Structure 1
Amino acid sequence: MIAKNIAECIGNTPVVELKDNLIPHGKRLYLKLDYFNPNFSVKDRTAIGLVKAALKEGKLKPGGTLIESTSGNLGKSLSMLGAVYGFNVIIVVDPKISQSLLKWYKAYGAKVEMVRDKDENGGYQRTRINRVKELVQEHVGAYWPNQYDNPDNPTYHYFNTAKEITALPIDSVVGAVSTGGHLCGIGKAIKDKKSSIKVIASDVEGSAVFRNSFTPYLINGVGLGWRSKNTDISVLDDIYISSDQEAISMCHLLAKEHGIMIGGSGGLVVSSALSWLHNSNSESAVAIIPDTGINYLDQFYDEDWLNSKSITLLDRERLNEEIKHKKSDSVLQGREKVNI
């Protein structure tokens, strides 16, 4: 099929079975490589869902302006779609972002706003959102997709991404949580249509999505300083939380031993999927890999950067011990079956 534009190339990403002795004997782990989307990220899916809904409802028009806060990947996707559908894009970022991503936005014609003041938690997420709100007031008719709370985010994944997941020979799906959009959209579809599949959330130490406090962490594109409206814990069966060190170590192992170069959130998800397989009756799981390690060659894969952040990579034996003995988070105990 010949696509009418690059946006039609979003989705239908490949799945690879990971063969490694970190996986419990007799069990299987599949990697859903969502970095095969045009901008090498699952956020292409989220962006097309948000943009198409806004265009259909008249909230965004050709020639108009879209403004969004992002820690990286969504900015690429929205910038690309601005070029495809003819609207202006302003991306609000913070100093944690890779310099290569900033060049990426600008190559698509987007404008970039950098916030430098940390919020009360020591992070930048609320500062970014406050700047978005200011810019929306400055640009008459501007549209803020608000990936955190906009139901168009999980709705798109419910009707689209979930079809690719439920078709797999699995009994569990593991994904990272930040806004909650892609995993909880998929999770709701699973609970509605194939409830035997378990949905496992992965988060980073320091995130306040499932815990009451926030402390800064290194990985981009995962975690938040709060729990967004799109994080629906009623569709989650378990949660695993891992450190920056563990996630980044997993990234290096997969790159060096399997030729699979993934981003930090992907390392987090694989680590969580392995812990789930070790500590449950699950026989086969798919880990949704949000993005590629190419985005982080000057960060997680750079020796000087690792040294500057005091990150020592765990060897295979130590990584295996961390994975096998990790306990799931207790936040789901006694939960109510409601959207949070």
Structure 2
Amino acid sequence: MAVIIANPLDFNVEDLYVDLRQSVGCPIYLKCEGFNFAGSIKIKAAAAMVAVREERGELRAGGTIIESSSGNMGVALSIVAASRGYRFVCVTDVRCTLAARKTMEALGSEVHVVGEPDADSGYLGARLAYVRKLCEANAGYIWLNQYANEANWRGHYRTTGPEIAKVFPELDVLFIGAGTTGTLMGCARYFRENHPGVTVVAIDTVGSVTFGRPPGQRMIPGLGTSVRPPIFDASYADDVVYVEEAETIRMCHRLAGSGYLFGGSTGTVVSGAAIWMKEHGRDDMTAVAVSPDFGGNYLDTIYNDEWASRVVTADVPDDHHRCGPRS
């Protein structure tokens, strides 16, 4: 049956899952959120945040949106802006992949790249400072501020959470990556209020400060923060797993070996989910992990052997991510 659309926001596959047992050895179903024109889950939050500003009358045709992004949100907002007649200014940093930057520019967006991190708050702090500077110089700019915008998590409360619950009414555990924490907060709130028996496990990267750990160098954009997002509430996460970037890269390559080319955020989520299942899993457990993106934007980084070898500095046993679920 043909699908005909008149706007790129009208298309998003909501119910495609990959059974990871064959490729990773874990009884986990991976919800693929990249089948839309933005190629990532960020299209949901981008559309939701823009819709709120439109409803308030703050965004009109020809208006300018500005946002800080490590890549995926920038691409998503580029599509939303182009489809709705707005200008979009993205402030990113040197870790943003070349493919993401070129995609934003191809869609008509203006991209500013921050070259140096803030001494205390890293690249994110530097990006936010630059956004504020641009807003001060351009009074008409509308800053969505995904890190503090409740529409970010509310979009997932209305969509991603219910979508998972519909397909898996007997869900036991849900794994979600922590970036801006929009997906995490939206889904965690939905399940806490509607299906309180579900365990929500956050997946974060080593070097991220979101859960109170000390900051550290991170090379892969997407998950993790150097400034704790104001929308984040740790009480909604039942557990958290921290993943080294080397493990993210190994997992991405492992999945690629089975024919699945996923992005860095997905590699981190799957790696963390496998670690948790190895410790806590059961044969009768129903587990779902959310895949934020695909790997096309990471060909020059994660899937480039020279780049990846600089991040992967220690060997991990072959069975590091093999699940050993207990009966």
TM-score by length of 2: 0.92
Aligned counterpart, 2:61: 62
Distance 1:251 1:202 in 2: 15
Aligned counterpart, 1:94: 93
Q: Is the 8 A contact 2:302 2:308 kept in 1?
A: yes
Cα deviation for residue 275 of structure 1 reads: 1.8
User: Residue deviations 1:77-134, cap 9 Å, x none?
Assistant: 1011111000100000111111111110111100011111211147311000111111
SS of the equivalent of 2:122 reads coil
Distance 1:144 1:181 in 2: 17
Distance 2:293 2:154 in 1: 21
CA gap of 1:168–1:197, structure 2 versus 1, over 3 A, is farther
Identity of aligned residues (%): 32
Cα deviation for residue 154 of structure 1 reads: 0.6
Aligned counterpart, 2:287: 285
Distance 2:178 2:260 in 1: 21
Consecutive aligned runs of 4 or more in structure 1 exceeding 4 Å deviation: 312-315, 322-325
Distance 1:9 1:322 in 2: 34
User: Residue deviations 1:201-236, cap 9 Å, x none?
Assistant: 000000011134211112211100132122222221
SS of the equivalent of 1:143 reads strand
Cα deviation for residue 140 of structure 1 reads: 2.1
**Where does the alignment leave 5 or more consecutive residues of structure 2 unmatched?**
none
- Mapping 1:70-81, distance limit 5 Å: 70-81=69-80
Distance 1:106 1:114 in 2: 12
- Mapping 1:203-214, distance limit 5 Å: 203-214=204-215
**Where does the alignment leave 5 or more consecutive residues of structure 1 unmatched?**
326-340
SS of the equivalent of 1:241 reads strand
Give the alignment partner of residue 18 of structure 1, picking from 20, 24, 37. 20
Cα deviation for residue 59 of structure 1 reads: 2.2
Q: Is the 8 A contact 1:251 1:262 kept in 2?
A: yes
State the AA in 1 paired with 2:14.
Answer: N
- Mapping 1:146-185, distance limit 5 Å: 146-169=145-168, 170-185=171-186
CA gap of 1:126–1:285, structure 2 versus 1, over 3 A, is same
TM-score by length of 1: 0.89
- Mapping 1:172-321, distance limit 5 Å: 172-256=173-257, 258-281=258-281, 283-307=285-309, 309-312=310-313, 314=315, 318-321=317-320
User: Residue deviations 1:166-215, cap 9 Å, x none?
Assistant: 12332111011011111110110011111111111000000011134211
CA gap of 1:94–1:150, structure 2 versus 1, over 3 A, is same
